[in-house]
Every structure is written in C-alpha cells, then in structure tokens.
Chain A
Amino acid sequence: MQGLADKLEWIQLSIAYAWPEIWLCISVVLLLFASLIQSNQNKWIDALALMAFLISLLLSALQFAESNTSMALFNGMLRLSDFSIYIKVLIDLAAVLTVFMSYAQQEKKGEYYALIATATLGAHLLCMSNHFVMAFIALELISLPSYALAAFGFQKKSMEAALKYFLFGSVASAIMLYGMSLLYGITLTLDFTSATFQQAVLYNQSYFLIISVCMVLIGFLFKLSSAPAHPWAPDVYEAAPTPLVAFFSVVPKLAGLSILLRFMQVLSLNGAASIRWYIIIGLVAMLTLTVGNFAALLQKNPKRMMAYSSIAQTGFLLIGVITLSEQGLHFMLFYATVFLVGNYLVFWYISFFEDRSISAIEQYAGTGKNYPFASIMLLIGLISLTGLPPTAGFMGKLFIFSSLWSSYESSEGMMYLLVFIVGLLNTVVSLFFYLKIPYQAFLKSESQVLIIKKSPLINLLGFILVMVLLGLFFMPSGLMGWLNRITFAL
C-alpha cells in the first residue's frame, strides 16, 4: 500500500506541472460546446480559440521560466525538460498562427478548432512522453484529429486526401505498435528511458533489435513525413485547407522530431551502443533531402510544391538528430524555429493569394506588380527556406552544416561528410523550385486580370514574421543564448 500512497502523491505533484495540458483539455471541451451553439458567420468562436491557444502558450512559456531541471511526471509517463518546454512553446506558437490564418474557414468552426486543440494536446504529450503507451496514445491523439481535419475541406478531393492520410497513417501506427510490442518482448518494460530498458538494449545489440527499432521508427518518420513514409504528404497538402496544411507541416513534425530524438538518445546509450544508429538516420535524411528537392522541381501547384519542400526541410532537421551532440541539437532547434517561421510566412501568403483565386504557380504571373508588398514578403519567406544570407534561413543552414562539419571532424565518420555534400547540393537544387513563384511574380507580366483586395491586417502579420526572420539573422545570439540553456538529460 505504501507504494500506492507515493504514487498518488506523485500524481498530485505532477498535476501542478501539467497545467498547459490540462488547459488544452478544458479548451477542447469548451470548443465542442461552442460548436453546438454556433451559427455560421460568428467571429466569437475565432476569438475563443485564439484565447485558448494564447493561454496555453502563456502557460508553457511560464513553465520555461521557472524550472530548468528536468523531472518525471505521472509516474514516469512524461519527462518535463527544457527541451520539451521549448518544443511546446513552438507548437503553441504554430497553433496560434494557424488560428490567425483560419479566419476564412466558414463551416464547422467549433469542431475545427476542437480538433486542432486535440492535435496540439497530442503534440504536447508526445514531446514529453517517456513511455511507449504514452507515446502511442499521444501519436494517435495527433493523427486521428488530423485525419478528420484533412477532410474539413468538404469537397471531393479533401475527402480523398483524408482517406489517403487515414489509411497510410493507420498502417504506419500499426507497424509502429508491432515494433513496440517486439521491444517490449526484448526489454520487458514499456518505459524506454528506464535503466532496465537500457540494460536490455545493451545486451541485445542484435539484428532483431534493429528490425524492431526500424518498425518503431516507421511510425515516427510517418509523423515527420520523411522519406520512406512521405507519399501521403503531397496529396494531403494539396487538398486540405491552407491553414491546416501549415499546421500539419509543422506541429506533428516537431513532436515526431522530439520523440525520435529522445528515442535515439536512449538507443545510442551515449556512445556505448555498438550499432551505429546515426548511419540509419543519415541514410533516411539523405533520402528525404533528395526526394523532397527533386520531386518539388516539377510541381505546378504551390501547396504541393510546399509539401515537397517541407519534406526536404525535414531532411535538414534529421541532420540535427544525426549529430546527437548537445550543440548539434541546439542548432537543430534554431533551424526548427526558423523553419516554423519561414513555413508559416510562405503558407500565410499562399492563402493570401488563394483568396484572390491564384492557385497554380502560373497564375502568380504579374503579382509582383499588383501586390508588390505581398510578393516581396513571399519572396523573403522563400529565400529564408532556401537559405540565402539576408534571412535567418542562411544562419540556420550555416549552423547545421557547421555542426555536421564538427561532428565529421571529431568522429571522422564518412557518413557526416556524405550528408554534408548531399545537403549542399540540395540547397542549390532547392533554389530551382523556390524561385519559381518569385520568378513568375516579378519576371512575367500577368496573364489574367487580378482582383485587387487590400488587406492591411494580413500584411501586418506577414511583416512581423519577416521582421522575425531578418532579426534572427542579424541577432542569432539572442535566441541561441536562450537555446543554449536547454539540457538534454534523459
């Protein structure tokens, strides 16, 4: 019985630390209630959703301030560390931006926001989870609402996209689950950060372990939409409404990245593992980079192109996982932040142009003259994703490549050099397709008449995002100083 008392007391303690998650649950319920009494054109639901996500952002940010030690919550289910708090802040930021973007969403606004809140909750939990059960449930908590959200376009092709996403997602999670059960068989414990798990893995450096780990990885890579599990992304991105596409391209990726990172840290047993996992992740990263960049060359639809570009960006994020050194991860977080801002800026303006019935890349011809401010902002966003100097994208790429070079220098592994070169070549190739839209916008004269709709609010927010991008370039030490305080203890 004594154990029981400790456990209950531990739960009470950890509830105090789980406020952002609890608030999200409350907001899900609130939003569902709101969806019951909603009529069509009422803005108060947007305000409610915005308030919900802002408070959750506030709560997670507050958490960042006070504790810098990492502590296990709910009997080892979750681990609240600076790293996961930072990721949670990013996720909430993404959610807030998504709410801003979805002012155009007419039908079913209540359910729409409820599902987004659930997915955010799932992302919060995934990046903190220590335990297979928790990880699986958090993953499903993100995926299932996303399948439903993918269908929120309510046209023919969004249904098809939802079906694709659902089938692919459920198969991936089934395989991941099977992998987890195999790992349970090997280590007989579900808490993968515990000592018994690490002991068992240490003694079991066998092929079987590789198979089971790879099956588990399939689940995480599906969430990251990286190479082997990426085909779903272009179709879903093309069909789903743009705010959601932005949400899908960032939030599940960040959560998947953190769980993958945590899992890899465990498996590497800080250097003791005889299986060199970084080679597997390296190969995945290279495959992702190449597929993402080359496939994007031929795309006609901006959203589909952005799908492949976000796949390529995942490749760069995976590089952070390969280096696994403290500093490499700080740079990965920097790159993730820049990617988030850049991605949202570009999607922001793709939806801006979509409202003006400009959906294919050819139709962007001449927008440079008609919407000078918007196309310049879009241009800066795309430049940041390519990684040209005036924008923070360059700083991110510089850090990623220098961390690769340092790890190559310290460990002489040829894989680092290979990834270094593939990464660089892909930066050049990425220029080909990132410049497609500005090329049409500025260099071509317009083919069809463009309706001019002034929208100061959108431009204002776009301007803020651009300022963040430029600011991060000129003063990276501000953010990096903050990031450097993050520790990655398990």
Chain B
Amino acid sequence: MSLLNVTFYFFYALVASSALALLFVKNIFHAALALLSCLLGIAALFILSMAEFAGVAQILLYAGGVVILLIFGIMLTNKSGAQPIPIKNTGLFGGLLVGSGLFFLLLFFTSKALFVLPANTNAGSIEKIGIELLTDYVLPFEITGILLLAVLAGAATIAGYKASRN
C-alpha cells in the first residue's frame, strides 16, 4: 500500500477512535483533548484530499478557536471543588438507538454512483478559492462579516450582563 494510503488510514483511524473516545470519556478535560485530536485528524484528511486551504483553516479555526473557547468554558463552569464533576449520561439507550438508526439509514441507501472518482484528480489551488470567494461567493463573504459582528456583540452583552440592581 502506498505511503499515501497508509497515512490516510492512520488519520482515518485517529479521527474515528477519538470520536468514540469522546463518547465514553468521564472527565471533561479528556473530552476536550479527544475533540482536539479528532479535529486535527480531520484537518489532515482535508489536506490529503487536495483541500489544503480547508485543512489549514480547520486547524486555525477549529483547533485554535473553538477548542480553546470550549476549554475556557469548561474552566469557568466546572470549578465546584478541586476535581471537575464527572459527566453522567442520561437515556443512553435512546441516544444509541437514534445514533445507530441514523447511521444505518445513511449507509444502507447509498448507491455506488455516488462514490466514483474522476480520473485526473489534479490539485485544486488556493488561488482558485481566492477568486471564487470574491466573485461568486462575495455576498456570503460580506454577510458573514456582519454576522460575526452582530452575533459576537450579542454574545458579549449576554455574557457580560450583570443584573443591574435597579
């Protein structure tokens, strides 16, 4: 098997295992770490399937931004006593039922035609993404700016709200 396949399946296994770990971990910090490893694995998969920019963006945004935010969240909300309270499950059976049902549904009905790969999978380039972003996708691009501005302002007001004693 070529080196490429080996790395692909290595990261594939990494992502799958860390996702499953996330399901069974008891300690919230370990969960955060598992999530981090899963996201990094996914970034690697992106790069392997010729979406380098997406992979880098994944590392920056997800691994850098979201996981850090989550860890801040954990620290802020879990400080009752020294060690963090263990995560308990509720209605495990129901959740598993739903998950497996969905998984089965998604797999059972896929047709082969979906997965045929074209012959020449030459590398798409970042330069093409740049052009596309500012021609076809210019509206979503600008609107996301507004979204970020308004939503984060909103989040800030909620988070920083101290019940003004009036």
* Residues in chain A within 8 A of chain B (CB atoms): 4, 7-8, 11, 25, 28-29, 32, 35, 73-78, 106-108, 111, 114-115, 117-118, 121-122, 125, 133-134, 137-138, 140-141, 144-145, 148-149, 151, 154, 162, 185-186, 206-208, 211
Contact = CB atoms under 8 A, between A and B. Distances in A.
Interface stretch (B6-14, B35-43, B88-96, B106-114): B106-114
A-B residue pairs, 3 tightest by C-beta? A148-B154, A118-B150, A7-B135
Contact of A134 (B131, B139, B150, B164): B139
Interface SS of A by simple majority: helix
Contacts of B153: 32, 35, 111, 114
Contacts, number: 94
A408 to B, nearest CB: 32
Nearest to A31: B150
A137 B139 CA distance: 10
B140 A29 contact: no
A111 B139 contact: no
Nearest to B157: A111
A25 B146 contact: yes
Contact of A114 (B111, B139, B150, B155): B150
Interface residues of B, number: 30
Interface centre among A29, A118, A206 (most CB of B within 10 A): A118
B154 A115 contact: yes
Nearest to B158: A151
Nearest to B150: A118
A77 B150 contact: no
Nearest to A29: B149
B151 interface: yes
A29 B106 CA distance: 43
B147 A144 contact: yes
Nearest to A106: B166
Taking each of B111, B137, B154, B166, which has the highest tally of chain A beta carbons within 10 Å of its own beta carbon? B154
Nearest to A116: B150
B153 to A, nearest CB: 6
B102 to A, nearest CB: 9
A156 to B, nearest CB: 10
Given A77-B140, A108-B157, A8 B135 contact: yes
A107 B106 CA distance: 47
Nearest to B142: A25
A140 B147 contact: yes
A108 B150 contact: no
A185 B146 contact: no
A77 B139 contact: yes
Interface string B102-131: 000110011100100000000000000001
Contacts of B136: 7, 75-77
